[in-house]
């Protein structure tokens, strides 16, 4: 006796539902097993020497003077010291010859004091330096930080300020200065609905699957709530960032360049007022190097900087980008910081050759 089509569809639906339930139970089981066997911290914690959480900031432009704490995550446990002036070491007790300015990459997230590129460079070059790197800042806030530092320390007359700009011209990503400076000028989101920049490899993939787009849009939520997702990032974070960072709109990039240009104009005026040389260094997130779009980013920063000297650091990390960044955290690891420090030292020595009698 022939089976009715309706009964066949019912059986198929039941099998699909059963399979989905088994998969869901399996995923939930894996999630709890991973939390027990291979837990991955959802972010960096600032802890004191007893392992208790500690507040490290005073307002929005200084660290607590003299505080000692640990930056702790699954990938690192870095002892960090803040000088009596409220800046990260190195923080010269005398007026500095060089000031390092930037965001968490310049600060050295995940790195012990002696492992930051600022510390390595200044020690090797025998320079009195101050590290004004401050996490979560874009170029406009960094200009404000520098102004306040000069107001607090009128005797400071550095020969040079080295500004480190973390940027990527083809994609959204945390810390991208093109987006940070938009937020700081109060126009975040301008041009957000525009078409992706032409240099973005993902822009040519109109068949990008819906689940991938869904996951990209909810990446931060997934990282906060799923250890399985965090575990994937801890193993393959560089590749994930390279493939799945959302594209930036062309109009938004243009807005970001214009906003960054305004911040650079303020820095240019401050340099003339205080008599220091200003050099802009482009730092790249790992995905910019893996995608091969670093030259576009450097060109965009140069467009914003105008006649200011812009130095692209991509050459220091391009041989094996994933080896120089924390996979989950995304910041430079000790090997990456040493590469950037070596790049700076090579440049410094070329500009200051040792002469023999």
Q: How many domains does the chain have?
A: 2
| β-strands 160-166, 310-312 pairing | unpaired
Pairing of strands 277-283, 310-312: parallel
Specify the CATH number for the domain of residue 106.
Answer: 3.40.50.1110
pLDDT digits (tens, 9 = 90+) for 43-61: 889 999 889 999 999 877 7
Residues 53, 186 share a domain: yes
**Which positions ≥6 away from 39 have C-beta within 8 Å?**
74, 227
Residue-wise pLDDT tens digits, 120-129 = 999 999 999 9
* Residues 131, 26 share a domain: no
Q: Which of 77-91, 212-226, 329-343 has the lowest mean pLDDT?
A: 212-226
- Are residues 85 and 156 located together in one domain of the fold? yes
pLDDT of residue 171: 86
Domain range enclosing 166: 46-351
**For residues 79 and 49, what is the distance between their CA atoms, to the nearest angstrom?**
9
Confirm whether 357 is domain-assigned: no
Does any domain span residue 98?
yes
Tell me how far apart the alpha carbons of residues 294 and 166 are, in angstroms, rounded to a whole number: 11
User: What does the pLDDT read at residue 22?
Assistant: 62
Residues with Cβ within 8 Å of residue 131, at least 6 apart in sequence? 87, 88, 89, 90, 91, 100, 106, 107, 108, 116, 118, 119
Contacts of 173 (CB under 8 A, 6+ apart): 241, 245, 285, 287
In a domain, 295, yes or no: yes
* Nearest alpha carbon to residue 202 among 247, 236, 258: 247
Decide: 184 and 141 in contact? Cβ < 8 Å.
Answer: yes
Asked whether residue 14 falls in the same domain as residue 58, the answer is: no
């Amino acid at each position: 006796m022939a089976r009715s089509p309706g009964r066949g569809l019912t059986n198929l639906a039941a099998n699909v539902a059963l399979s989905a339930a088994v998969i869901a139970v399996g995923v939930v089981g894996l999630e709890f097993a991973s939390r027990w066997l291979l837990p991955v911290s959802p972010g960096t914690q600032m802890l004191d020497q007893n392992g208790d959480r500690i507040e490290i900031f005073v307002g929005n432009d200084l660290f607590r003077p003299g505080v000692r704490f640990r930056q702790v995550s699954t990938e690192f446990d870095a002892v960090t010291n803040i000088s009596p002036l409220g800046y990260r070491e190195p923080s010269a007790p005398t007026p500095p010859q060089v000031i390092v300015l930037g965001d968490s990459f310049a600060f050295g997230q995940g790195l012990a004091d002696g492992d930051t590129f600022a510390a390595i460079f200044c020690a090797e070059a025998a320079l009195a330096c101050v590290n004004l790197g401050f996490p979560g800042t874009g170029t406009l806030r960094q200009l404000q930080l520098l102004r306040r530092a000069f107001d607090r320390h009128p005797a400071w007359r550095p020969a040079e300020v080295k500004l480190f700009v973390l940027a990527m011209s083809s994609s959204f990503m945390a810390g991208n200065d093109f987006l940070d400076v938009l937020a700081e000028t109060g126009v975040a989101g301008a041009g957000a609905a525009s078409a992706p920049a032409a240099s973005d490899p993902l822009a040519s993939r109109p068949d990008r699957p819906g689940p991938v787009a869904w996951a990209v849009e909810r990446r931060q939520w997934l990282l906060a709530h799923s250890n399985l997702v965090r575990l994937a990032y801890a193993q393959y974070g560089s590749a994930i960032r390279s493939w799945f960072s959302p594209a930036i709109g062309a109009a938004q990039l243009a807005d970001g360049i214009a906003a960054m240009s305004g911040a650079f104009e303020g820095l240019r005026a401050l340099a003339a007022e205080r008599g220091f040389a200003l050099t802009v260094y482009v730092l790249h997130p790992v995905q910019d190097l893996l995608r091969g779009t670093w030259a576009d980013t450097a060109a965009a920063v140069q467009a914003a900087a105008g006649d200011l000297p812009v130095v692209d650091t991509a050459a220091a990390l391009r041989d094996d980008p994933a080896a120089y960044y924390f996979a989950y955290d995304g910041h430079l690891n000790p090997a990456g910081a040493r590469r950037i420090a070596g790049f700076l030292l090579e440049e410094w020595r070329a500009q200051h050759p040792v002469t023999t009698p």
